[in-house]
Amino acid sequence: MPSHGPRSVHVVDSHTEGEPTRVVIDGWPQPRGATMAERVADLRDGSDHLRRAVVCEPRGHDAIVGALLTPPVNEGSLAGAVFFNNGTYLGMCGHGLIGVIRTLQHLGRLSPGSALIDTPAGTVRTELSDDGTVTIENVASFVHAQDVRVDVAGYEPVVGDVAYGGNWFFITHDAQVPVEMSRVAELGRFTSAIQQAIDAHGITGAQGSAIDHIEISAAPSRADADCRNYVLCSGGEYDRSPCGTGTSAKMATLHARDQLAFGEPWRQEGIVGGLFTGWLTPGLHGELIPHIRGSAFVTGEATLLFDERDPFRFGIPLPDGDRARV
């Protein structure tokens, strides 16, 4: 356990359509690096105990996504953001970025209008509206493989698409377990079994990228939604929100099947009932640019204290060891 580190870290908590985000605004020494990828590598090497300290028990819980604000790496950007969870770091996080924007507004650092935020996956344009909703113009999404069959221990084989939306997803309609809040424990077992099978069979995204999010699409429960999902995240918890990067990847799979035209709205319901509205626009070079709109609410501000005598001051690691996929 590291003997050094900050005595305290200041955070602002929010939730986006039910999924919590904890933004670190002060106290965590800035990572080194000229790019966001270098900063993630530096954090993993030198400050991983702070990741656990901020989001894991006993201060946090498995569903929290943390966001460390950094100076921007690109000219014209407002800030950088590194997203992390109980197990690892994320390339991008849609609900988390919406929470970051509302946090910056809460702190008086941002007014309605647009701002660019640098993330490890790329620079993302955000738009804060007068009514408090936030739209993100995400990094390009795309489909890597369609109709991939996976033999899953204890279940019928599952067929799904491998797609990117800022993180890598395996997206299936195969609801062997109903996508309902009352079934989240079973959904966790089912999607974990799919994740294990994907790892065991060496199924990856482009250039061998690890797939670390499993998304099940099903019929919506809301009249104003097109689809409801359950998303297993890289740390082993499920996304309470409709998952911004998951909705981005989902829209790419629909577009590839001519089921979603440019500009057509896609209303994605999350497992707890929140809603993101998404749509695609064409990029300059034909890429699919996903737009995601949602709401976040600030729920608290806190100073996290690190007592040198506390053996758990840097959190309780996951039982099977932390995942390091990014």
- Kindly tell me which residue out of 9, 24, 67, 93 binds ligand PYC, with binding defined by CB under 6 A: 93
236 contacts ligand PYC (rule: CB under 6 A):
no
Look up residue 209 and give its DSSP letter.
P
The one catalytic residue in 56, 227, 233, 243 is 243
d(CA 222, CA 200): 36
- Kindly tell me which residue out of 140, 143, 233, 280 binds ligand PYC, with binding defined by CB under 6 A: 233
- What is the footprint of ligand PYC within residues 54-83 (CB under 6 A)? 65
The one catalytic residue in 56, 93, 227, 233 is 93
Helix runs in 32-130, H state only: 36-46, 48-55, 94-106
- What is the footprint of ligand PYC within residues 124-183 (CB under 6 A)? 167
- Of 5 and 16, the one with the shorter C-beta distance to ligand PYC is 16
Structure tokens, 258? 């001519």
214 contacts ligand PYC (rule: CB under 6 A):
no
95 contacts ligand PYC (rule: CB under 6 A):
yes
Minimum distance, C-beta of residue 189 to ligand PYC, in the bound complex (Å): 19
Structure tokens, 156? 């019928």
Residue 243 falls in which region: left (phi positive, over 0), alpha (psi -120 to 50) or beta:
left
- Of 80 and 94, the one with the shorter C-beta distance to ligand PYC is 94
Smallest Cα–Cα separation from 253: which of 176, 139, 194, 171?
171
Structure tokens, 118? 């640098």
Pick the piece of the chain touching ligand PYC (CB under 6 A) from 51-59, 67-75, 88-96, 316-324: 88-96
Residues 165/209, Cβ–Cβ less than 8 Å: no
d(CA 253, CA 268): 14
- What is the footprint of ligand PYC within residues 239-278 (CB under 6 A)? 239, 241, 243-245
Minimum distance, C-beta of residue 193 to ligand PYC, in the bound complex (Å): 20
Structure tokens, 273? 């009932």
- Distance in angstroms between the alpha carbons of the first and the last residue of the chain: 23
Minimum distance, C-beta of residue 241 to ligand PYC, in the bound complex (Å): 6
Q: Is 93 a catalytic residue?
A: yes
Binding residues for ligand PYC, per CB under 6 A?
Answer: 19, 65, 93-95, 167, 233, 239, 241, 243-245
